[in-house]
Homo-oligomer: A and B are copies of this chain.
Amino acid sequence: MRDPLAALREIATLGGRSPSEGNGHLVAGDELITDTAALGSARISAWEAVKLARELHRPHSIEIIERVFTRFQEMHGDRLFRDDPAIVGGIAELAGRPVVVVGQQKGASTEENIQRNFGMPHPEGYRKAIRLYRLAERFQLPLVTLIDTPGAFPGPEAEERGQAEAIAKSIEVMTGLRTPIVAVVLGEGGSGGALALGVADVVLSLQNAIYSVISPEGAAAILWRTAGEAERAARSLRLAGPDLLELRIVDGLIPEPPAGAHTDHDRTAANIKAAIAPQLERLARKATAELLAERYERFRRIGVVVEPAGEPVAPRRPWWKKVLGR
């Protein structure tokens, strides 16, 4: 096996930083893990993380919203087709200041899951999200997104109404949204359907949440032709919190109670609040242009490519400086 850190060094080379610099803009503290070494023996297996992330009684978006924020007023509808119960959103207050919050919503029971479509949004869910993003932008409210979905719903009606277009548009709108954005992966970050809420200035994850390009079962079915290899696929996909931190998909991990978030919703929410409040504070002080340029760079850096041998890659000059000749 190849040294897994080699990949990180490749990233580092491209990004012009070494891993020891951490994620650059986040400072570790009690409320945020920014170095996987700090996890020590608390690091669980990928499959354990998958199970915890999907735990029925894990706190979902509304449970978190009610505990992290005050005075939440839900706002419904995409103004186009339908109000999708798999995505909730609205305006709430954090430390007395209004924010727009949007999250995928699973149920805590079978009945509720049927009503919420197991947290799998239709296109109209993403279009509701886009509408609320635009509301945040118009009134310069910070945006907090909560990611918790097995993925966008793959049914025929979702295809007919443009699931792909809706996800693409949601991502695109977030890349250019002129207000601060903090995203938190609460449970399952399922593929493009999760990323549609995930383009943020700061992307955090609960310690035991997962975020993956495909479900482990899906990967196993395609790569090993049996869903039985899901555990192995989970490991290979590097979808658990600490992996995401090492790969710089997320900027920090939010600690969970020792036995998992489902054992203590209040404490989980308190940890989330402690983690996001200082980030919103910090981002609010940035000029919009700086915010957008840094958001661009945050995603621009992601990926591992090898430039021709013998030509070491100089630290990449930020894109906007090239264009503006600075």
Distance of A81 Cα from B81 Cα, bound (Å): 9
CB distance from A183 to the nearest CB of B (A): 25
Q: Does A80 contact B81, Cβ atoms closer than 8 Å?
A: yes
Give A153-192 interface residues, CB cut-off 8 Å to B: 161-162, 165
Q: Closest B residue to A161 by CB, please name it.
A: B81
This chain: copies in complex: 2
CB distance from A78 to the nearest CB of B (A): 9
Question: What is the number of residues of chain A that contact chain B, defined by CB distance less than 8 Å?
Answer: 7
Distance of A152 Cα from B257 Cα, bound (Å): 57
CB contacts (< 8 Å) of A81 on chain B: these are 80-81, 161-162
Q: Does A316 contact B (CB under 8 A)?
A: no
CB distance from A320 to the nearest CB of B (A): 21
Distance of A161 Cα from B165 Cα, bound (Å): 18
Interface centre among A127, A161, A162, A165 (most CB of B within 10 A): A162
Q: Does A79 contact B161, Cβ atoms closer than 8 Å?
A: no
Q: Encode contact with B along A61-82: 1 for CB under 8 Å, 0 otherwise.
A: 0000000000000000001110
Distance of A127 Cα from B162 Cα, bound (Å): 14
Interface centre among A79, A80, A161, A165 (most CB of B within 10 A): A80
Q: Closest B residue to A166 by CB, please name it.
A: B80
CB contacts (< 8 Å) of A162 on chain B: these are 79-81
Distance of A161 Cα from B79 Cα, bound (Å): 9
Distance of A161 Cα from B77 Cα, bound (Å): 12
CB contacts (< 8 Å) of A79 on chain B: these are 162, 165
CB distance from A156 to the nearest CB of B (A): 14
Sorted from nearest, which 8 A-B pairs have the closest CB atoms? A79-B165, A80-B80, A81-B161, A80-B162, A81-B81, A79-B162, A80-B161, A80-B81
